[in-house]
Amino acid sequence: MSSATTTAEAYRTQLRMNRMGLWLFFVSEVFLFGGLLATRFYLWGNTRPELDQSIGLIVTSVLLLSSLSMNLSEKGLEHNNRRLFLGGLVFTFVFGLVFLVGVMVFEWGLFPAFYEGHLTPGENVYGAVVFAMTGMHALHVITGLAFIAIVWNLGRKGSYSPERHWGVESCAIYWHFVDVVWIFFYPALYLIGHVAH
């Protein structure tokens, strides 16, 4: 058996282990985000706070666009198209940042001179749940943005190839997971139940 064959087989073995580890991590994340969803339905029942529907739809659309650009980035690397690969990562980063700023400015009211949010974390059960759910999701978005920046920098230096790209694959899977979580959070926060007065 040649050295190249042995190295390729070792890489495939390591890749299988990495994938299994990542999916086990996601199982624990499902319990975390599932617990937050359960808390929402237990404490709010069939009610919800009056959140800005336009903002919810805009930030959700932006986050879904980020999944599309991440997919394009993966396709770019798969076809050895460096421009599409790196450009897709940049667009994903920008869309993720727009989503994060949208939530922080319009739902959290972090910049009251610009836009005053109407919920606070300690005000009532609605504020507590909104801030817990969006805050935990925002923490994962921030982690994803850091991950994307690292992958982009390594990709710029030529660290990935169509044959060896675990860093890109894991980053993309993580980002898609964060998007899927929001797909469950968005209706739970903005659409399900009647507005409590």
Read off the pLDDT band of 107 (50, 70, 90): confident
Query: For residue 13, with 0-12 CB atoms within 10 Å meaning exposed, 13-18 middle and 19 or more buried, which class applies?
Result: exposed
Convert the pLDDT of each residue in 160-196 to its tens digit.
Answer: 988 888 999 999 999 999 999 999 999 999 999 999 8
Q: N- to C-terminal Cα distance for the chain?
A: 73
At 112 the pLDDT is: 67
In eight-state DSSP terms, residue 104 is I
Q: What is the pLDDT of residue 114?
A: 64
Secondary-structure class of domain 26-195 per CATH:
mainly alpha
Q: Where are the domains of the chain?
A: 26-195
CA atoms within 13 A on the CB side of 66: 31
What does the pLDDT look like over 123-172, one tens digit per residue?
A: 789 999 999 999 999 999 999 999 999 999 999 999 998 888 899 999 99
User: Which tokens is 179 given?
Assistant: 């998007």
The residues near 193 (Cβ < 8 Å, ≥ 6 apart) are 44, 45, 46, 47, 48
Cα separation, 50 vs 43, in Å, equals 16
pTM over 0.85: yes
State how far the alpha carbon of 10 is from the alpha carbons of 13, 15, 164, in Å: 5, 9, 12
For residue 88, the tally of other CB atoms under 10 A from its CB is 25
- Give the number of other Cβ atoms within 10 Å of residue 162's Cβ: 12
